[in-house]
Amino acid sequence: MKKFVLHQEHTEPLTMVGCGILRKEVDYLIRTHGWNVQTHFLDSALHNYLNRLSKELNEALQEHEAKGEKTFVFYGSCHPLMDNYLDEHRTCRTRGQNCIVMLLGYELFMQELEKGAYFLVEDWALTWQPMITACFGNNIAVVREIFHSSHKYMLALKTPCSADFSEAAQTAADFVDLPLHWLEVDLEHLKQVLFEAIKQRLDQATT
């Protein structure tokens, strides 16, 4: 079994700047494995607002760099200029197209996506209606048309860190008029993704 322990030469502290969508899961993995990583989470709805995402991500990275901290980024390809930002800040990010791929792995993600899933995590479920209406407006018929054009069901992802968000998930599914399914998810793939990003950044720091 692979151990997710960093070697002695890899004990330099890092600061992870990233999406708050899996805050509980990321904090749990960092704490459990004793990784020397501080976290700075941004609003999980920023992927809906590219200008805000660009501004807040770059400002957060600059803030920590000004303190002499070495950073890495917990985001997928959530902004078309993401690679440019990484180059500018001489850092790296977690591997994966988006946070759901990081959690599920590419194969399971694509399997459910091809069946018509819209993936719902706890953080989004708890802020669903204001988040969706801020993005798409208050016309529920239009919102439902948008969701129905691409999705056949809502797939709520329950991790070992999730609280009971069944009521919020059902309310979210009802709001867009999609059936609600559930999937229990472990943290093995997310752990691998985080470990690889930490190791990559520490390797960068020593070269």
Burial label for 11, CB within 10 Å (0-12, 13-18, 19+), is exposed
Residue with the larger pLDDT of the pair 69 and 3: 69
Burial label for 5, CB within 10 Å (0-12, 13-18, 19+), is exposed
Q: To the nearest whole number, what is the mean pLDDT of the chain?
A: 93
The DSSP 8-state label assigned to residue 22 in this structure reads G
Q: What is the pLDDT of residues 137-174, one digit of tens each?
A: 999 999 999 999 999 999 999 999 999 999 999 999 99
Q: How far apart are the first and last CA of the chain?
A: 29
pLDDT for res 42: 96
Neighbours of 25 (CB within 10 A): 23
**1 pLDDT tier (thresholds 50, 70, 90):** very low
Burial label for 149, CB within 10 Å (0-12, 13-18, 19+), is exposed
* HSE of 190, CA atoms in CB hemisphere, 13 A: 24
With left for phi above 0 and alpha for psi between -120 and 50, is residue 170 left, alpha or beta? alpha
The phi and psi torsions of 5 (rounded to 5 degrees) equal -115, 130
Alpha carbon distance 155, 117 (integer Å): 6
- Evaluate if pTM is beyond 0.95: no
- Cα three-residue angle 73-19-159, rounded to 5 degrees: 115
pLDDT for res 12: 81
Q: Is pLDDT of 9 > 60?
A: no
Q: Are 97 and 75 in contact (CB under 8 A)?
A: no
